Each structure stands twice: as structure tokens, then as C-alpha cells.
Amino acid sequence: MSADAIETGLRQLSGWALKEGAIEKTYTFDNYHRTLAFVNALAWIAHAEDHHPDLLVKYGSCQVRFNTHSVGGISINDFICAAKADALLG
């Protein structure tokens, strides 16, 4: 995707940012149980989409990073999966 297309995509998502060749967002939760529930739900979506993020899981947060290794950058699939991750929390 071009830099302009990436910026357009980021404007359509809340809290996502471009960092080191990926789009990234950190979700926060009240406790570890809720964090893991989110991670498990996101894992199901990632499996269904066959598009898997990098995750950094902590007690009350999960950092999610999407990029597309096969294209060496960011693709529309990253934005689709980011929107689906956001939808998990309403």
C-alpha cells in the first residue's frame, strides 16, 4: 500500500498507528482473564482470516501488530483484521 493509502486506512480506525512497518494498537483490560479472552477471540479471527498478528500480552494489555510478510509491508488485509479486532470490543 502507498503511504497515502495507509494514512487513509489509519484515519478510519481508532487508536491504530504506523510503527516500524506495521500497524499497531495496544488494548487495555481490567485483568489478565479479560486480556486472555481478547487474545483467544483474536486468535480465532486470525485463524479464520489466515492472517496472523504479532501479539505482546501482558497482565492488563495486549499490543497487536499487523503487517503482511508476503508483500513486505502493509496490505488491505491488515486493515480488515484490525477492524475485526476492534469489533471484538464493540
pLDDT, tens digit, for every residue of 57-85?
999 999 999 998 888 889 999 999 999 99
Nearest Cα neighbor of 78 from 11, 24, 8, 20 is 24
Residue 81's CATH number: 3.30.1360.20
Average pLDDT, the chain: 95
Q: Report the pLDDT value the prediction gives residue 54, as an integer from 0 to 100.
A: 96
Nearest Cα neighbor of 62 from 79, 84, 78, 85 is 85
When divided into structural domains, the chain yields a total of 1
Q: Report the pLDDT value the prediction gives residue 33, as an integer from 0 to 100.
A: 97
Give residue 22's domain range.
3-87
Q: Mind listing the pLDDT tens digit for each residue in 29-67?
A: 999 999 999 999 999 999 999 999 999 999 999 999 999
